[in-house]
Structure 1
């Protein structure tokens, strides 16, 4: 096949450009290319972040900050619950002594069981408050696990609120705040905050 063959699958040969003018003649840019003045540098190509994920928010969004505050309120409520149970425990022995259960061994056993349950509830509320505090501290630098744990923590807080609803009125507050925590932590803005790249 020759280059002049019209049946060539490769098409016609490329056109030859005219030779550039010699020494002393100004150089002309090809058509369609803007000319630059003498001493000007060529324009730099646009900067692109190849290989990097898109940047996330630089500051914690308001909805995520609200979730952190709701989590702090639940932590505070559990600390108050632990303190109230502790106060009840200090009063327990006085109430048992006033009831004069020394003659009834079965009543003493029930009173000891009640005291044991009270100690267990104090420990449970204190541990729950400490776990929540650990999550609150991690909001600024933690990953997506902090968000997921916050949602799970809010779910357990709803159960705590149900058990405490008849007690000191704190239960209703815990339920409302825990629902708000779950909603705020599940928002897309919060997910973007916890999934942001960290360099």
Structure 2
């Protein structure tokens, strides 16, 4: 027959699982704060310092502005037309020389000389347009200034052609000259605008 434990007995079992007067501590995990996880598991990581734009690892560079892109395309088109005109002049002079030789004209060689001179002149104008246009991606202020000079010369020639076509009453020549002058002037304006200048003056690393 069992008897209830005597509360005054110091050697008896303590209530609630205490033995010898000492309270047993609960095992970790039952009400005690858990060990904090190592950094990287739920804790925000330190953000790296952003690099400057244009430097390795930096933000993306701003692309070429629309004004510069348009001016570049117009320079390529104008240069290609000048090169084509020079080639046609050379071919025409050779054909004229052949015809003059068949007609036994004494000064038949002058046609080739004139055609060669025009070919060199138009070829130089073509290079003056195409070379700076090809340098828009990496070129500096020199490419922009050269493009402005080339477009200014192009607009001057187009204006002279417009005045000549108007005086001759050539309607088709007038229309072509107007378009020619307009594209040349637009190229100069786009090259002189602020976004285009900022593009050519951008820092390079």
TM category (shorter chain) comes to 0.5 to 0.7
C-alpha change, 1:93 and 1:164, in structure 2 (3 Å) is farther
Pairing partner for 1:79 from 83, 89, 100: 83
Answer whether contact 2:64 2:199 (CA < 8 A) is retained.
Answer: yes
1:17 paired residue number:
none
1:184 paired residue number:
190
Larger Rg, first or second structure (1 or 2): 2
| CA RMSD between the two structures | 3.4
Answer whether contact 1:85 1:118 (CA < 8 A) is retained.
Answer: yes
Structure 2: stretches of 5+ with no match in the other structure: 1-38, 53-58, 166-171
Pick which of 168-177 and 187-196 moved more: 168-177
Q: Separation in 2 of the partners of 1:164 and 1:89?
A: 21
Structure 1: stretches of 5+ with no match in the other structure: 1-38, 50-54, 103-107
1:89 paired residue number:
93
| 1:95-114 map, 5 Å | 95-97=99-101, 99-102=103-106, 108=107, 111-114=108-111
Q: Separation in 2 of the partners of 1:56 and 1:150?
A: 27
> Which structure carries more relative contact order (alpha carbon 8 Å, separation 6+)?
1
2:133 paired residue number:
136
Q: Give the drift of 1:47.
A: 7.8
Q: Give the drift of 1:61.
A: 0.8
Pairing partner for 2:115 from 109, 113, 118: 118
1:6 paired residue number:
none
Answer whether contact 1:162 1:175 (CA < 8 A) is retained.
Answer: yes
1:63 paired residue number:
67
Q: Give the drift of 1:68.
A: 0.4
Q: Give the drift of 1:117.
A: 2.2
Q: Separation in 2 of the partners of 1:89 and 1:172?
A: 28
Answer whether contact 2:129 2:151 (CA < 8 A) is retained.
Answer: no
Pairing partner for 1:159 from 156, 159, 163: 156
1:195 paired residue number:
201
Q: How does the TM-score come out when normalised to structure 2?
A: 0.59
Q: How does the TM-score come out when normalised to structure 1?
A: 0.61
Q: Give the drift of 1:158.
A: 2.1
Q: Give the drift of 1:154.
A: 0.6
